[in-house]
Structure 1
């Protein structure tokens, strides 16, 4: 038997109630009969003209955003919107001319700055703060789909900025990175690691694949960051049970390292990753190479810089609190894409904010002759010798 809709159930109840009223009605009281029929007709008309019965929408008020948010100091504005006022204006300038905000639709869009504030507030909120109705009540907009439409629209514009703000460094920029970090770990271009992003509920299908070793449903993101903590490459969407090494080995960086790194250049990873010429890792506990003191000294020094990727993840999740628990159930492929887009938007914004903060700093100057790496600097033994010599100086 097909499932009855809510409107049908309400109509059935109205008819039964009308029949009951007519049964108990005194046949001589015409005025009461007219009133009963009038009330029934009015209720039925309302029902037939309402798509999903009677919807009591969120009361709309723009008082908070006009009279409170507008007068916040920089610190409070940053706390609510997750970016400072100046940063907000710069992000707004990057997306304001996007075609998604200039449609030929007959319905006028909400002001662009309001749309961006709503999207940033959602990205920065966690727990109950992500509730559609709470966001709608706070900003004084409809909750029947308006919030979702606004978010998708802003995301679409920000995702178009990916090539400008989240990209692998070219040969010249890699040389700048090598020059800037030559006294730390020669030849190191970046730092790689994976991070779990917890899901609020189990996926609808194959949920066991998303159950991670941390005993939670999650999806994985794997990223490479540079010494400024900018994300230079990110892989998003693997189920939580997939090991970091497997994600890496399936990546273009692992399959075609020559496209991403020049001779003697490498990236740093933890012991979960395989040791390769272009990927150096610390010594594992069962290693018998060198002495115990040398291995411990190497690992301590190595971790001091490799931890930058963990710092990067920490900053990302603290700035955009929604990443602490994603409100996606993974029902279908479209839902998965929306979840991946959500994470990618946070990564792009993370890089934008770092660029805003560092663009006035003096860039690394590379004067001829350019800094060249010592031969074999992408081997663990070479790095161990560098560390030992570094300690003596």
Structure 2
């Protein structure tokens, strides 16, 4: 038993053809719409993410068995993030990518390790320059009431569903949509550029409370100039 590690023969599962390769070659080169449907980002955004993440040390090791390329690992993670329910199960993602379930887990973990580096987050998410702010104001001026042009950014919360109820404080993750989730606050410009966010709040957390975790909420006196404001729905307080 010490030599084989298994008392009985292993029950192997034959792997089917990988659709991952087709997405990263044929669809990426010729069908942007289908590429976006699979990975939820455009090919241009995908390439930029690969360029930003490929030098992260998490994607290199001293093992004799080399890792998958960074673009393959990122594609696996994005496909998993872009699906819900049974479609996001490890086995479903493994079938789509033609990989083992353990590899799917490793790809997801490595991508999230790289994305959550403080250096990456600070470079990817920042407050707009004065020029970018003026462009946002001009967009509001052109697409809504001219008097509202000083509302140059928007905030809303989104619920990220969890696979199962967390062991610790599980009921606090139960949200209004009857799922276990996390409340993520996102602040963006009209062009959808994210300029601030907060995470780590349970699904039952009200948007008005989770909003307080953003930098803009904590430093609104310095972020907004006289007469400027942020668009939000009725769930948020008037500051």
Q: Give yes or no for TM over 0.5.
A: yes
Residue 153 of structure 1 pairs with residue 153 of structure 2: no
What runs of 5+ residues in structure 2 fail to find an aligned partner? none
**What residue is the counterpart of 1:208 in the other structure?**
171
RMSD across aligned positions (CA): 3.0
**What residue is the counterpart of 2:72 in the other structure?**
114
Q: Are the structure 2 counterparts of residues 186 and 96 from structure 1 closer, same or farther at C-alpha, using a change threshold of 3 Å?
A: same
Tell me the distance in 1 between the aligned counterparts of 2:16 and 2:183.
Answer: 39
Structure 2 counterpart SS, 1:246: helix
What CA deviation, in whole Å up to 9, does each residue of 1:356-393 have, x standing for no partner?
A: xxxxxxxxxxxxxxxxxxxxxxxxxxxxxxxxxxxxxx
What runs of 5+ residues in structure 1 fail to find an aligned partner? 1-44, 277-393
What is the number of equivalent residue pairs in this alignment? 230
State the Cα distance separating 1:190 from its structure 2 match.
1.1
Q: How does 1:180-259 map to 2 (within 5 A)?
A: 180-182=139-141, 183=146, 185-249=148-212, 251-259=214-222
**What residue is the counterpart of 1:88 in the other structure?**
46
Report 1 or 2 for greater relative contact order, CA contacts < 8 Å, sequence distance ≥ 6.
1
Q: 2:132 aligns with which of 173, 178, 191?
A: 173
Higher strand share: 2
Structure 2 counterpart SS, 1:178: helix
State the Cα distance separating 1:108 from its structure 2 match.
1.2
TM-score w.r.t. length of structure 2? 0.78
Tell me the distance in 1 between the aligned counterparts of 2:232 and 2:22.
Answer: 49
Whether the aligned pair in 2 keeps the contact of 1:192 and 1:223 (CA below 8 Å) is: yes
What CA deviation, in whole Å up to 9, does each residue of 1:79-103 have, x standing for no partner?
A: 3333344443343233233332233
Q: Which moved more, 1:259-268 or 1:64-73?
A: 64-73
State the Cα distance separating 1:267 from its structure 2 match.
1.0
Tell me the distance in 1 between the aligned counterparts of 2:99 and 2:188.
Answer: 38
Tell me the distance in 2 between the aligned counterparts of 1:263 and 1:176.
Answer: 18
Structure 2 counterpart SS, 1:164: helix
Tell me the distance in 1 between the aligned counterparts of 2:140 and 2:56.
Answer: 38
Whether the aligned pair in 1 keeps the contact of 2:161 and 2:179 (CA below 8 Å) is: yes
Structure 1 counterpart SS, 2:148: coil
Residue 125 of structure 1 pairs with residue 83 of structure 2: yes
Tell me the distance in 1 between the aligned counterparts of 2:23 and 2:187.
Answer: 40
Higher helix share: 1
**What residue is the counterpart of 1:98 in the other structure?**
56
